[in-house]
């Protein structure tokens, strides 16, 4: 089999390079920009995290609903190229527009739209794999796409990062630099997408009576076909569960790194290490798959991720996080690329759009489960970690063991304050001029003097700890 990539295959791979830049921004710079907007508007950190989570969830639900519909529409006639181009143009324009939005709520709305359009472009993009290459070359081409996407996304990201970090040296505010970073990403996304948009031609599409069916009818037929086709059904079921593990490790790595004491710079470098390691290993997986090993390679990657999760459970030092980043990079690209190409080989080519819509539902749906379970585990379990250096306590990290979480806007009125708590707002200084002015409490509102038990002293005699009360 000819291993050299064709011109069309290379252009198809370039879109992985184009869209991966936006993925990097979503993981790093875009949350920082939103945080700055929130701070300017007086948004608390709790609200910031909550609203950001809502935005991600909403965009996921939008894609889960629209993905199959858009895929089904793309399969009718030769509409796939037009729909693909529309998602790229709208996504790039929206990405650039994010840099000019200065109000946090409008920013979230635009972000939800851009994130949704970006994910929908991937639904169409993945479904074009059968049009640009042969079945026996799909694994290698898909792996090359992920590989070059990892390494290519670092080019605009590093440029944007240097711009933000050195904004004061070139006379720009940090917010202006962040805005320019979003524009640079949009230009990269659009510009690198041009080759595939100019050259792509749809080969497989619905014709005759199938084309005349409305989209909902077609989706119903596809669901019945998926249920009947055991190979497709069992793969989607397995994909739903194993890709959840992959996405959970990716999504929770930052939080896990923070718990281990890594700073933001170290975690950013670890992210870049993962990208660079993923590049050669994704290509390696593609080469090995040419020997008919794609199914075995997916199983190997799943086993590796199981080992990664077990290793993460026993991590206690920051250097182990770097080891984890390397191992994730080794298998991340391979399992994603081979899953995409394997699915493309077992589905009808003329209905690839709608089938990849269901594929995306499994991926997006699974991405919520792992992170939710991680959050519940942290809430419901008692975990305390103490970090020492040079025999001195640096930090204590612990999760909450008991309580109820409410969105800030939905806190019950009786839960705003502790039981018996009184807020003496009338005795607070109202301005700098009366900061030293004494204001007494109203009759009946004075604090009660409550005698408290004195904590016992501890002393060590031999190997025993004895307590002495001061009372």
pLDDT digits (tens, 9 = 90+) for 146-194: 889 888 888 998 898 889 888 888 888 888 888 999 999 999 999 999 9
d(CA 421, CA 373): 34
Ranges of residues in the chain with a pLDDT under 70 are 1-3, 44-50, 53, 206-214, 251-265, 365-368, 370-386, 396-422, 425, 444-471
Output the pLDDT for position 282.
Answer: 87
Output the pLDDT for position 91.
Answer: 94
Inside any domain, residue 453: no
Domain containing 247 equals 7-387
What digits encode the pLDDT tens for the residues 345-370? Answer: 888 887 788 788 888 878 776 666 76
Inside any domain, residue 135: yes
Whole-number average pLDDT of the chain: 79
How many domains are contained in the chain? 1
**Tokens for 431?**
């301005």
Inside any domain, residue 274: yes
CATH of the domain at 260: 1.20.1250.20
Inside any domain, residue 173: yes
Please choose, from the candidates 447, 402, 407, the residue with its C-alpha nearest in 3D space to the C-alpha of residue 424: 447
Judge contact between 345 and 289, C-beta under 8 A: no
Q: How far is CA 254 from CA 258, 267, 321, in A?
A: 6, 7, 10
Bridge partners, 393 (sequence order): 388
Q: Each residue of 249-264: b (16+ CB within 10 Å) or e?
A: bbbbbbebbebbbbee
């Amino acid at each position: 089999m000819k291993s050299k990539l064709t011109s069309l295959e290379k252009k198809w791979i370039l879109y992985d390079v184009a869209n991966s830049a936006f993925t990097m921004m979503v993981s790093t710079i875009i949350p920082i920009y939103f945080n700055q907007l929130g701070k300017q508007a007086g948004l608390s950190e709790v609200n910031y995290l909550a609203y950001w989570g809502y935005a991600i969830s909403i965009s996921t639900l939008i894609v889960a609903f629209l993905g199959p519909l858009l895929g089904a529409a793309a399969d009718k006639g030769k509409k796939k190229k037009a729909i693909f181009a529309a998602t790229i143009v709208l996504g790039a324009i929206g990405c650039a527009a994010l840099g000019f939005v200065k109000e946090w709520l409008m920013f979230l709305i635009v972000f939800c739209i851009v994130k949704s359009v970006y994910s929908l472009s991937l639904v169409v993009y993945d479904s074009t794999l059968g049009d640009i290459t042969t079945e026996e070359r799909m694994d290698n081409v898909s792996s090359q796409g992920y590989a070059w996407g990892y390494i290519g996304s670092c080019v605009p990201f590093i440029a944007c990062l240097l711009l933000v970090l050195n904004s004061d040296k070139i006379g720009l505010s940090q917010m202006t630099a962040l805005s320019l970073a979003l524009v640079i990403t949009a230009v990269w996304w659009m510009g690198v997408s041009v080759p595939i948009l100019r050259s792509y031609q749809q080969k497989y599409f619905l014709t005759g009576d199938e084309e005349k069916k409305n989209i909902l009818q077609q989706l119903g037929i596809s669901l019945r076909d998926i249920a009947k086709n055991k190979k497709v059904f069992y793969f989607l079921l397995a994909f739903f569960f194993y890709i959840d593990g992959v996405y959970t490790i990716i999504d929770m790595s930052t939080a896990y790194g923070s718990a281990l004491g890594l700073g933001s710079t170290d975690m950013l470098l670890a992210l870049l290490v993962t990208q660079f390691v993923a590049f050669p290993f994704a290509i390696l997986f593609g080469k090995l798959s040419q020997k008919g090993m794609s199914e075995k390679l997916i199983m190997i990657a799943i086993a590796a991720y199981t080992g990664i999760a077990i290793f993460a459970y026993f991590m206690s030092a920051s250097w182990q996080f770097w080891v984890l980043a390397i191992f994730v990079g080794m298998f991340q690209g391979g399992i994603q690329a081979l899953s995409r190409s394997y699915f493309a080989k077992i589905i009808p080519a003329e209905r690839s759009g709608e089938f990849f819509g269901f594929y995306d539902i499994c991926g997006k749906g699974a991405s919520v489960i792992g992170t939710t379970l991680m959050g519940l585990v942290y809430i419901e379990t008692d975990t305390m970690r103490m970090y020492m250096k040079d025999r001195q306590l640096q930090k204590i990290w612990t999760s909450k063991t008991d309580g109820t979480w409410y969105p800030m806007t939905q806190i019950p009125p009786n839960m705003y304050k502790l039981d018996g708590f009184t807020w003496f707002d009338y005795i607070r200084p109202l301005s700098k001029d009366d900061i030293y002015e004494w204001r007494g409490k109203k009759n009946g509102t004075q604090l009660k003097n409550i005698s408290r038990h004195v904590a016992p002293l501890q002393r060590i005699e031999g190997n025993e700890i004895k307590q002495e009360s001061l009372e």
